[in-house]
Amino acid sequence: MEEKKARKKFFIFLIALTLLALIISLCLTLYLRHSIDNTSILGKIDDWEYDPDKYNSSEGSLISWGSSGGSSSGSSGWTPQANSSAASSSGNSFSLVSPSFSANADTNIGFSTGGAKDVNNFRENIKEGYFPISTDITYNGLFYDYTFDTGNSTTNQEDLFYPSYSTAISKDPISEKDEYYMTVGLNSNIKEEDFQRKKLNLVVVLDISGSMSSPFNSYYYDNNENEDEDSNKTKMEIANESVNILIDQLKEDDRFGMVLFESSAYKAKPLNLVRDVDMGAIKEHVLDIEAIGGTNFEAGYSEATKLFEDFENVDTNEYENRIIVLTDAMPNTGKTSDKSLLSMVEKNSNNKIYTTFIGIGVDFNTELIETISDVRGANYYSVHNSKEFKERMGEQFEYMVTPLVFDLKLDMKSDSYKISEIYGSDTVNKETGNIMNVNTLFPSKTTSDGEVKGGVILLKLSRKENSNNDSSDIVLNVSYKDRNGEEYQNSQTVTFTSEGPYYDNTGIRKAIVLTRYANLVKDWILYERSDSDSRFLITPNSGIIDCVYTEDEIYRMLGEHERTSTKLSVSNEYKTLFNTLKSYIETEKNEIKDDTLDQEIEILDILTK
């Protein structure tokens, strides 16, 4: 009897154990299926679609089209998260993705303008013995290579952005005349440790045209080469390595897609969640890309725009949409006008799809890109080796893809002064009367000393006719919008001391030095490239002035967007002027205590040999 009861209990135990095993097995199956569907553990896809063997390399035309599989870009769901609304112009706190803004933050980030983010192309051309063009050196690009004391003395601000103002009277080193300046310091109330970019829908557009096959330190259209340690690398190789550096900056919740273009455009990779994709395999595919065909810039950009069609209703409080174009910017097929590409970039900007251009090689056509980067939310960088690019992207990627302030407008009211020039803005039409317009501000790093990378805009002022020489008040009214379209205002009064020379701080002093340097370089470029009977020369009486090319002059020098090399040359007249400028910068470097200015002295050493 007891044996029978024991046997019955044993069978019941076996049945229960079997049921438990089935339940565990079912749960494990469901878990693994869920994991595979969401690629959190297994099943990452290689969704690369571009196969060069399926294209006619001689014509760049499509023979056949296939896909290696993978889910559609909209297949992996995500849930929008609530984002707190922006504050009114009267104050209150802001939110980016989730960070709080603390008025007592130990280190707050600052801002810099959009557009050019370096002048690498200018420096590299001179170092390689080539003559630069005017758009190779821009004021905002030059400023972004330096950090500035913004003159910010406020510690209790609550606004996303707030300006500070510094003034100076400085003697021109050539004319020895006093000049009047003011900086607009670009400050934020965002604590650095709280700053984070939004999730990204990112499409990389890669130029694979024939010009990308040339060494990055030579000009494709005249096949001139200079030998150095990197001369064995082509622009295509540098670009491929740069794309993979960009990929390394992405997070699991970002989406990544890719388009290639030459005479035609190809969807190389659909816009899918990074966590769903075997990104290691994608990086291998990228390294295999080779240059071929012509350059149809608009076709590539148009194909990239199509990848965002499934994300028209994406929550822009959670996701940032951006196209990053890597190119040497020398279109020769399709619509080669910068105006046609400009309209496409502007349309995307209006739909909150912003654009970054990354120029590859010394023959990168800055003239084309400088115009396009005037669009809201746009910026551009130059690349001359992958190590340099890796350093920049590791430190600056999150800042590069996160525009925060739009449509910044400054209105200056003064009985004694007016704005004559504006330096360091991304906006082509910077001034109307006493109005300064800036399309975009991007977040920017702050040093331990509180200086902001590229953190100022410089205004050159002139005295109004019949004004007295007494100190006078300047009323400065600023308005801007955040990325949600909320508008804010700020008003301050600044007293401009009329006796000089003096500098409120090293920030405005450094901005003046860099502006005079850029102005004289631009004067030199125009002088050397002009016909002998139309040349002009800066004189001690005129001082350093700002000169720009007309559209006809640029086309005469370049053709339409296809940049050929010109051997570096400096007339004796400008060697004398550059020597004067060099002595001035060396003196100012010691006063400002910024050894970074040595990079400009190095350029002047080359120009005065």
DSSP string, 561-600: S-----B----HHHHHHHHHHHHHHHHHHHHHT-GGGHHH
Task: For 352-375, write each residue's pLDDT tens digit.
Answer: 999 999 988 777 777 777 778 889
Q: State the pLDDT at residue 599.
A: 97
Find out whether 170 and 280 touch, Cβ atoms under 8 Å. Answer: no
Model confidence at 557: pLDDT above 50: no
Residue 61 amino acid letter = S
Q: Round to whole Å and give the CA distance between 464 and 305.
A: 49
How confident is residue 586, by pLDDT bands cut at 50, 70 and 90?
very high
Peptide bond into 331 cis (omega under 30): no
**3-state per-residue secondary structure call for 200-268:** EEEEEEEECCHHHHCECCCECCCCECCCCCCCCCEHHHHHHHHHHHHHHCCCCCCEEEEEEECCCEEEE
Contacts of 309 (CB under 8 A, 6+ apart): none
Compute the residue count for the chain: 609
How confident is residue 438, by pLDDT bands cut at 50, 70 and 90?
very high
Q: State the pLDDT at residue 38.
A: 44
Backbone angles phi, psi at 256, to 5 degrees: -135, 130
Domain borders along the chain are: 52-75+198-400, 110-193+405-607
State the number of CA atoms in the 13 A half-sphere of 478 facing the CB. 21
Q: State the pLDDT at residue 520.
A: 95
Q: For 178-182, 240-244, 272-276, 428-432, which range has the lowest pLDDT when averaged over its residues?
A: 428-432
The domain defined by 110-193+405-607 carries CATH number 2.60.40.1670: yes
Backbone angles phi, psi at 573, to 5 degrees: -60, -45
Q: Round to whole Å and give the CA distance between 243 and 284.
A: 11
Q: Round to whole Å and give the CA distance between 456 and 166.
A: 10
The residue-averaged pLDDT of 224-229 equals 45
Model confidence at 15: pLDDT above 90: no
Q: 0.75 exceeded by the pTM?
A: yes
Q: Round to whole Å and give the CA distance between 576 and 574.
A: 5
Q: The tokens of 551 are what?
A: 């559209």
Find out whether 158 and 87 touch, Cβ atoms under 8 Å. Answer: yes
Residue 485 φ/ψ region, left for φ over 0, alpha for ψ in the -120 to 50 degree band, beta for the rest:
left
Residue 395 amino acid letter = E
Q: State the pLDDT at residue 227.
A: 45
Q: State the pLDDT at residue 339.
A: 64
How confident is residue 74, by pLDDT bands cut at 50, 70 and 90?
very low
Backbone angles phi, psi at 303, to 5 degrees: -65, -40
What are the helix (H) ranges across 107-212? 120-127, 139-143
Find out whether 507 and 183 touch, Cβ atoms under 8 Å. Answer: yes
Q: State the pLDDT at residue 559.
A: 44
For the chain, the C-alpha Rg in angstroms (whole number) is 28
Q: State the pLDDT at residue 40.
A: 42
Q: The tokens of 380 are what?
A: 């551009």
Percentage of residues of the chain with pLDDT beyond 70: 74
Q: For 390-404, 517-531, 533-547, which range has the lowest pLDDT when averaged over its residues?
A: 533-547
Backbone angles phi, psi at 240, to 5 degrees: -60, -45
**Coil/strand/helix, residue 380:** strand
Selection from 273, 204, 285 nearest residue 44 by Cα: 273
Q: Round to whole Å and give the CA distance between 87 and 93.
A: 6
Residue 15 φ/ψ region, left for φ over 0, alpha for ψ in the -120 to 50 degree band, beta for the rest:
alpha
Task: For 119-166, write each residue's pLDDT tens digit.
Answer: 988 999 999 899 998 888 999 999 999 999 999 987 656 788 999 999
Give the domain 52-75+198-400 fold.
Rossmann fold (3.40.50)
Task: For CA atoms 51, 245, 373, 119, give the dihedral sign.
Answer: negative
Selection from 255, 245, 180 nearest residue 421 by Cα: 180
Q: The tokens of 262 are what?
A: 């030459």
How confident is residue 233, by pLDDT bands cut at 50, 70 and 90?
confident
Q: State the pLDDT at residue 458.
A: 96
How confident is residue 465, by pLDDT bands cut at 50, 70 and 90?
confident
Selection from 492, 476, 481, 479 nearest residue 434 by Cα: 476
How confident is residue 313, by pLDDT bands cut at 50, 70 and 90?
confident
Q: State the pLDDT at residue 144.
A: 95
Q: Round to whole Å and give the CA distance between 265 and 256.
A: 17
More confidently predicted of 226 and 250: 250
Q: State the pLDDT at residue 556.
A: 47
Model confidence at 73: pLDDT above 70: no
Percentage of residues of the chain with pLDDT beyond 90: 48
More confidently predicted of 313 and 105: 313
Residue that the structure tokens 């690349």 belong to: 383
Model confidence at 432: pLDDT above 80: no
Q: Round to whole Å and give the CA distance between 518 and 295.
A: 31
Task: For CA atoms 467, 471, 472, 474, give the dihedral sign.
Answer: positive
Mean confidence (pLDDT) of the chain: 80
Model confidence at 322: pLDDT above 90: yes
Angstrom distances, CA of residue 208 to CA of 211, 290, 336, 341: 8, 7, 16, 18
Q: For 33-47, 383-397, 435-449, which range has the lowest pLDDT when averaged over its residues?
A: 33-47
**Coil/strand/helix, residue 392:** helix
Q: For 135-144, 221-230, 515-524, which range has the lowest pLDDT when averaged over its residues?
A: 221-230
Residue that the structure tokens 């005479």 belong to: 263
Q: For 66-80, 193-207, 273-287, 303-317, which range has the lowest pLDDT when averaged over its residues?
A: 66-80
Q: For 188-202, 387-401, 544-558, which range has the lowest pLDDT when averaged over its residues?
A: 544-558
Dihedral of CA atoms 515, 517, 518, 520 in degrees, nearest 10, equals 120
Q: Round to whole Å and give the CA distance between 108 and 187.
A: 8
How confident is residue 383, by pLDDT bands cut at 50, 70 and 90?
confident
Other Cβ atoms less than 10 A from the Cβ of 64: the count is: 8
* Displacement of CA 570 from its chain's centroid (Å): 31
Which helix (H) or strand (E) covers residue 405, if one does? strand 405-413
- Beta-bridge mates of residue 110: 187, 444
The residue-averaged pLDDT of 269-298 equals 93
The residue-averaged pLDDT of 446-454 equals 94
Report how many helices (DSSP H) and strands (DSSP E) the chain contains, helices first: 13, 22
More confidently predicted of 192 and 225: 192
Q: State the pLDDT at residue 1.
A: 61
Angstrom distances, CA of residue 254 to CA of 36, 257, 274: 18, 10, 6
Q: Round to whole Å and give the CA distance between 357 and 333.
A: 19
Query: What angle is formed at CA 401 by the lines to CA 190 and CA 304, rounded to 5 degrees?
Result: 155
